[in-house]
Amino acid sequence: MLGSFITIVVLSFIGFAIIMGVILAATADEEVTIPKKSVLYLDLNKPIADRSSKIPFYISPMNAAGDMGLDEILENIAKARSDDNISGIYLNTENIMTGLATLQEIRDALVDFRSSGKFLVSYGNYYSQGAYYLASAAGQLYLNPEGGLLLKGLNAQLMFLKGTLEKLDVDVRIIRHGKFKAATEPLFLDKMSAENREQITDLITDMWKQVIGDISQSRSIKPSELNHIADELLVQTAGDALKYGLVDTLLYKDELFARFRQLLELDSTAKIGFVSFDSYSKVADKNRSTAKEKIAVVYASGDVVDGEGSQDNIGGERISRTIRKAREDKRVKAIVLRVNSGGGSALASEVIWREIELATKEKPVVASFGNVAASGGYYIACAADKIMAEPSTITGSIGVWAAIPNLKGLMNNKLGITFDNAATNRNADFISVMKPLTPYQQAVIQKDVDHIYDVFSERVANGRNMSVTKVDNIGQGRIWSGTEALNLGLVDTLGGLDAAIHFAASLAGVTDYRISSLPVIKNPIDQLIEQILGKSTPDVYLKKALGEDYTYYLTLRKIRELKGVQARMEYEITVN
């Protein structure tokens, strides 16, 4: 028995060593050679985050859906622009999965790529509205003859839970500050309030103007004509898309490849040198600096949460520590805080805000907003020296709220469970979810919410050089587009991540620098081990199984995990 046990242990170690060796070999950087007349194949039909998880799909089936980082996409496009071996880009995007601000950043990079004189070809069997917006940047836009294209305008859909809570006999007491702070409306209304409808309508109207304006410029179609097409749903088939000038030609895939050979001046039977995104990511960037001086880009994506958090959210302790280390690093000459968050814990937001304020006293700090930087997402950035956003960024939402559920009806009436208690003091049961709040307890929470709102407003006023009165007027929980936020002074200029990095470097007075992306992402082996041990949540399976309904699951999970007073844009807006 002892011999068998020792044999099993030894073989286990050998097996583990072999597996680790295979993984190390798979993840090792390979030298990729790009021949002349190559075409970068940019397949964007995957979820796009601000930053890639770096764990290859072939190592972990939990990452089978794959994810792409905006940072890598922008880097590869810029690299291809100056790469003499890359003749053009083949863009494949039929149903892209990301926000409008991210699409704008990628689109701007593609437009810049075209300015180099290289070709940009987009082809699809079908274009969703977001996919077409990105594809319209292409100089040659093709569609399958039996495919389709959709252009219908933007629609924002909000999910309301009032009916569900009533059926469960659950009462939720809402304490908030801000008439536009609609984060809690799904809990006590079954449709938008007049204030919420106003702000959502204004937001998507600004977004649509940006989309129509960009498409109009690329396709030489008047905005009024594009709106007419959308209003009447005139484009359904590929023939419709061609008729109204939304695409250049209808082609089958073999005809597309023939076009590529013409562009590359190849024989009709020659093999086209397509280079995948993953392969091109391994190609060294000849323009990448090896300077000792650095611009630190701190990525803050997801919900703002107390404690360490994870790679999928903004842990107050983890992100504040990261900013502090960047501040103390003498080689870091400027900091860019990249925010993509609808907020969360008010306390964690304050912790991160403090580190940003301290950092601005020692070196330039520029905030770069992605798809959303609202409520707590705006809170953590408002102390930055400069704030940049995309025109379609969802921002603002300067407001605070708390929601206290009362589960007594559910437990008593639905499940037959009763509770009783004994206490030493009058409010020893503060806060209990098994009984309603007393008027005094609710007043205590309201006082706390009002205090946090006042602090939030003061932080914004100091960071933006405004009066507290003005902040309150444009605050009240209202969300704004990046364009409106610029007019109101909530942001300083419009632009993406690359623009923010260049701006931070100019403020620091450095021209030769390298990018330091923070927090440091765990290597693929560590991530794999965490997944094997169950320390990370394989949400990718749920995303694939639930599809569009995953948003509803995520909303319910977030509500369950709420702790403390929130500075959060809680509702989920699906713009399509």
Measured distance CA(135)–CA(119) in Å, rounded = 13
Torsion of Cα atoms, 88 then 94 then 99 then 101, to 10°: 30
- The count of other CB atoms within 10 Å of the CB of residue 223 is 15
Q: What tokens were used for 50? A: 């601000």
Single out the residue of 127, 143, 132, 67 nearest to residue 100, CA to CA.
132
Do 344 and 304 form a contact (C-beta atoms < 8 A)?
A: yes
Q: What tokens were used for 378? A: 């705006």
What string of H, E and C letters represents the secondary structure of 449-472? HHHHHHHHHHHHHHHHCCCHHHHH
Task: Determine the residue type at 367.
Answer: A
Do 555 and 572 form a contact (C-beta atoms < 8 A)?
A: yes
Do 142 and 241 form a contact (C-beta atoms < 8 A)?
A: no
Which single residue is written with the structure tokens 């390298």? Answer: 514
Q: What tokens were used for 497? A: 């991540």
Q: What Å distances lie between residue 300 and 413, 491, 522, CA to CA?
A: 43, 17, 16
Q: What tokens were used for 8? A: 């099993």
Single out the residue of 99, 44, 159, 53 nearest to residue 538, CA to CA.
53
Torsion of Cα atoms, 388 then 389 then 390 then 393, to 10°: 180
Single out the residue of 357, 296, 306 nearest to residue 330, CA to CA.
296
Measured distance CA(335)–CA(299) in Å, rounded = 11
Do 296 and 326 form a contact (C-beta atoms < 8 A)?
A: yes
Catalytically active residues, by annotation: 181, 375
Which single residue is written with the structure tokens 């086209």? Answer: 272
DSSP 41: E
Q: H/E element holding 215?
A: helix 194-219
Q: What Å distances lie between residue 336 and 21, 29, 87, 173, 513, CA to CA?
A: 37, 27, 32, 39, 14
What string of H, E and C letters represents the secondary structure of 327-361? HHCCCEEEEEEEEEECEEEHHHHHHHHHHHHHHHC
Instruction: Name the percent of the chain in helix, strand, coil, to the closest 5.
Output: 45, 20, 35
Measured distance CA(115)–CA(82) in Å, rounded = 11
Measured distance CA(407)–CA(206) in Å, rounded = 41
Q: Which residues lie across from 123 on neighbouring strands?
A: 142
Do 411 and 434 form a contact (C-beta atoms < 8 A)?
A: yes
C-alpha angle with apex 392: 228 to 318, nearest 5 degrees? 155
Do 102 and 374 form a contact (C-beta atoms < 8 A)?
A: no
Q: What Å distances lie between residue 78 and 57, 408, 424, CA to CA?
A: 25, 58, 67
